[in-house]
Amino acid sequence: MSLTGKSRDFKLGGADRGSVVVSWYAPSVIEVEWNGHVTGETITEALVKARDLQGNHPVTHVIANTTHVVGYTVNVRTPSLNFMEHFRGAGAKEFVGVIPNIAVRMFAASMALVTRVKFSVFASRMEAVAYLEKSRG
């Protein structure tokens, strides 16, 4: 792990272009899976896709899966705040993070602190889903 000089990007290895997939995990639960090297544009794309998918449907939980993230640029902060604030404003009670990497966990923790959104973090999707199923009843 390192911060590269000029761009101040965080990289775990590789330079895979970031991508995002947004889908319904269950009624009222949106799952967002980021892959590769995530940029502010990738986060903005996730918000656009999530809003389109959500439509007028309620969202109580968001699964944020970063299992396949290999790095991120420093310009993800504002789009990440916008993403979290959208769902908080739409009634989301909690974000459930699948975040195996400690550096990405630290970033997620800072976003949760700033937005005052409940954010539970797990190392695997299996753990996150088990927690979510138990907490939803």
Domain containing residue 97: 2-136
List, for residues 103-122, the tens digit of each pLDDT value: 889 988 998 888 888 999 99
Task: Indicate which CATH number applies to the domain containing 67.
Answer: 3.30.750.24
- Tokens 């390192």, residue? 2
Domains held by the chain: number: 1
H, E, C per residue of the chain: CEECCCCCCEECCCCCECEEEEEEEECCEEEEEEEEEECHHHHHHHHHHHHHHHCCCCCCEEEEEEEEEEEECHHHHHHHHHHHHHHHHCCCCEEEEECCCHHHHHHHHHHHHHHCCCEEEECCHHHHHHHHHHHHC
Predicted TM-score (pTM) of this structure: 0.86
List, for residues 78-106, the tens digit of each pLDDT value: 999 999 999 999 999 999 999 999 888 99
